[in-house]
Structure 1
């Protein structure tokens, strides 16, 4: 349930950003950009009305479609599920939404500090709403771990933007098809689109560091070059543990649940000087997906592996 709404929220923010991509203020690279001369009333009202309308419609859809049976509010400890992949996903989603809300406010002419605060509060509002609904849903529950991850993702964006006026470190998402969904399609997804949200075996989350901003490099060093550290899990067809599954001959099939760690180069396209300032800012907001690139992987089953372009199907 929450997976679908989380995806819709991200698509909503990005669709609004598409409308301002050619006219937005430039993305700050080293220091905060000067505040706009004033709020653009038309844009500001449009953003407020659009955000309020989307939030209200989302609530109505949730109540009607996915949270029909309401139970007393309760909590649910899922911190040990899915090798914590869902927690990293919450943090990445909150980071992306915070950045999207910030850019919408800046496009409207809101000053830097108010835009940072508003973007973070919007992200937490949407995410907290989902958690409260889960708290009243049978089979789910309010997750303190999810909320902590939401706050962490928002803090990662806001802290950097307040402190240095740029995103030295960002969170990105990657995906590959895996062999696991056919064993539990109702849990891991029947189609590729659903699997991108629900199959944690296929997801990777990347901590992307801009080297020119983090290290004392010379002027000739490429400002767009990033180094990413990734995390994923594999062998999971259940949250805490795998339920028994069998092949066509009735033989038991077992999967070893394990963590995977990656390192890979990346590009922050928003820092390419040949792009216009407005395009740089839009790209920095929308570049949530990790660009395929060579990578090194380590896991306890297969040790160190090199992948020349994209991660193989497992």
Structure 2
């Protein structure tokens, strides 16, 4: 009976080798791909730093944290599948996320166009910490880090500027247009009030975004000769805060592994819902915000 039972046990040694290989391949592939596709048109330099902590009203930094959080989350799941105890899998997931982000930052550090950013690394560490500390302390994600984006339309000189900055395609705009991005801390109410009659899936989310960003530090651009090619300092650069209901899709019960995986992936995104916006000393309501 023991031999029959062992036949159906997962081969965790093979799984660990497989997952370690996948992570190594992902790191190596990212390094090679970005070296050719992203950095090849810019001169390479010695390691140097760049202070971009005040760029884009820090929306890009929140994006770093969101990415690090989700890489840690899904990397942890792969290490746990490979047979590691949960706490160790969380540690490996966090280290995997930081390692991946550090590779990207190292590429920046050797490019004349960018540089090593300590604020980027701090944001990466914050995202990883948000995931790992909750798993170690609560064994669940009571506060989830989510993302939403809505299409923005531009006209005139602003349209030309945004195409230079953010690209023209949907994919480029989704990643680069900070005017369209909102990042959310989504709190699961039932997790903080276990004895309540609240639905297990009900969340309340606090979002952060910005508007009027047509340059990293200010709404200007200059040619190689120093001449002004774009100047819209008349457009205010505004921080925006949001308050909105949300859904924790991981709390929706299902016995189907594929559906469970899809719900987990969907949980990276903030559900479209009514929202209150607080910006520039004013309050604005949105019937449906994403």
Same fold (TM over 0.5): yes
- Spell out, residue by residue over 1:212-261, the C-alpha distance to the aligned partner (whole angstroms, 9 max, x if none): 1123542x32011000000000001100000169xxxxx97542110111
Conservation of the 8 A alpha-carbon contact between 2:274 and 2:288: yes
1:189 offset after TM fit, Å?
2.0
- SS of structure 2 residue aligned to 1:262: strand
Q: Which residue of structure 2 aligns with residue 11 of structure 1?
A: none
What is the aligned residue count? 268
* Distance in 2 of aligned mates of 1:54 and 1:244: 36
Higher share of residues assigned strand: 2
Residue aligning to 2:278: 298
What is the Cα-based RMSD across aligned positions, in Å?
2.3
Q: Is 1:257 the equivalent of 2:231?
A: no
CA distance in 2 between partners of 1:284 and 1:142 (Å): 32
- Residue 89 (structure 1) aligns with: 63
5+ residue gaps in structure 2? 1-8, 223-229
Q: What corresponds to 1:24 in structure 2?
A: none
Give yes or no for contact 1:262–1:297 (8 Å, CA) kept in 2.
yes
**In structure 2, what is the equivalent of residue 107 of structure 1?**
81
The answer as to 2:277 corresponding to 1:307 is no
Gap change, CA 1:133 and 1:232, over 3 Å in 2: same
Structure 1 residue 67 displacement after superposition = 2.7
Q: Is this contact kept in 1: 2:219–2:231, CA < 8 A?
A: no
User: What TM-score, normalized by structure 1, do the two folds share?
Assistant: 0.79
| TM-score w.r.t. length of structure 2 | 0.86
Structure 1 alignment gaps of length 5 or more: 1-36, 246-250
Is 2:173 the partner of 1:195? yes
Structure of greater Rg: 2
Question: Cα distance, 1:53 vs. partner?
Answer: 1.5
Which segment is superposed worse, 259-268 or 37-46?
A: 37-46
> Are 2:249 and 2:266, in contact at CA under 8 Å, matched by a contact in 1?
no
Give the match for residue 72 of structure 2.
98
Counterparts of 2:231 and 2:205, CA distance in 1:
38
* Aligned match of 2:249: 269
